């Protein structure tokens, strides 16, 4: 495997970062997870735009233009013969001192890994996920804003630990006010009648790229979409519930906190939107070749 690092392709075994990199020391940096389908990088410009917004929010100056970054993603995919896969795009603050001061870091590090990922077993896309509500509260927007896709994912990891310890693979995180924010790594939707409802970003969720695609596709196929504040009650009593994310794509939730959601099986709306998403993903995106 070849890793793109600061304008060069290096062997995986030689892809190193300094122990003084603030990305390692403090989780100081930003990242994106991107999918490739059928020889195309899906929603590449949107991912690059979000990366630069995250960097702007933490006062991190990326030493490349957006066009150069997009081109680097294509280079990494070509080097690893990735036609259907997953790309991890990382920008760290760079090497600095042992103090917190980010301005001691002179050169941000740009790292692109093009390979594969399987977030959930294939069978769960047929049977649906079970999830639990966790006690780890989503970061409040006044602290580390969840709209920043930063390298500091400890909040999400603590939630994931709770989920795994409870015997499930995913969870629901609440914000400090007790409303639904998101899963540990995915956005949340419920279906009520012909309407899809998802929490607004200010409730503590990332502005997901796959979330945005679903919100675009749904009205084209006869469904209404709205952002609204959701409580656990709304999830328990939904007709259907599903999660969205670049790695997860669209996956149904059929049980939450030992309450059966809907019929207890992936619902018709979730299945239909999954089909439309897969079809859209395979014909959209930036060509790798």
CA separation, residue 236 to residues 109, 200, 225, 241, 257 (Å):
44, 19, 19, 9, 9
Q: What is the pLDDT of residue 167?
A: 98
**How many CB atoms lie under 10 A from the CB of residue 233?**
9
- The class (CATH top level) of 124-283 is alpha beta
Contact 108, 93 (CB under 8 A): yes
Angle at 203 between CA 201 and CA 204, to 5 degrees: 75
149 in catalytic set: yes
Active-site entry in 2, 14, 78, 149: 149
Q: What is the pLDDT of residue 288?
A: 96
Residue 135, classified by CB atoms within 10 Å of its CB into exposed (0-12), middle (13-18) or buried (19+), is exposed
176-224 pLDDT per residue, tens: 999 999 999 999 999 999 999 999 999 999 999 999 999 999 999 999 9
State which fold the 2-115 domain adopts: D-amino Acid Aminotransferase; Chain A, domain 1 (3.30.470)
Q: What is the pLDDT of residue 197?
A: 98
Portions of the chain given CATH number 3.20.10.10: 124-283
Portions of the chain given CATH number 3.30.470.10: 2-115
Question: What's the token pair of residue 207?
Answer: 């502005």
pTM: 0.95
The CA distance from 96 to 21, in Å, is 6
58-104 pLDDT per residue, tens: 999 999 999 999 999 999 999 999 999 999 999 999 999 999 999 99
**Location of structure tokens 């909040």:** 155
CA separation, residue 153 to residues 8, 30, 207, 217 (Å):
27, 10, 16, 29
Question: What's the token pair of residue 121?
Answer: 């077993």
120-170 pLDDT per residue, tens: 999 999 999 999 999 999 999 999 999 999 999 999 999 999 999 999 999
Burial 181-220 (b: 16+ CB within 10 A, else e): bbbbbbbbbbbeeeebbbbebebbbbebbbbebbbebbee
Question: What's the token pair of residue 177?
Answer: 């006010």
């Amino acid at each position: 495997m070849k890793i793109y690092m600061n304008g060069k392709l290096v062997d995986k075994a030689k892809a190193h970062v300094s122990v003084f990199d603030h990305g390692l020391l403090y989780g100081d940096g930003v990242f994106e997870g991107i999918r490739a389908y059928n020889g195309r990088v899906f929603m590449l410009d949107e991912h690059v735009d979000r990366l630069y917004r995250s960097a702007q929010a933490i006062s991190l100056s990326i030493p490349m233009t957006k066009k150069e970054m997009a081109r680097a993603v294509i280079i990494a995919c070509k080097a690893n013969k990735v036609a259907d896969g997953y790309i991890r795009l990382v920008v760290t603050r760079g090497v600095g001192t042992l103090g917190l001061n980010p301005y001691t870091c002179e050169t941000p590090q740009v790292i692109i890994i093009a390979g594969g990922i399987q977030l959930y077993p294939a069978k769960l896309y047929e049977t649906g996920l079970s999830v639990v509500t966790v006690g780890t509260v989503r970061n409040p927007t006044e602290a580390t804003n969840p709209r920043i896709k930063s390298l500091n994912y400890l909040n999400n990891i603590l939630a994931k630990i709770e989920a795994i310890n409870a015997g499930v693979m995913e969870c629901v995180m609440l914000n400090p006010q007790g409303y639904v924010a998101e899963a540990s790594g995915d956005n949340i939707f419920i279906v009520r009648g012909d309407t899809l409802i998802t929490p607004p970003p200010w409730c503590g969720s990332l502005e997901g790229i796959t979330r945005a695609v679903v919100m675009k596709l749904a009205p084209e196929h006869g469904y209404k979409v709205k952002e609204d504040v959701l409580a656990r009650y709304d999830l328990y009593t939904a007709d259907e519930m599903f999660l969205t994310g670049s790695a997860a794509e669209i996956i149904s939730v059929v049980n939450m906190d030992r309450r059966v959601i809907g019929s207890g099986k992936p619902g018709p709306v979730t299945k239909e939107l999954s089909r439309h998403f897969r079809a859209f993903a395979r014909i959209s995106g930036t060509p790798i070749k």
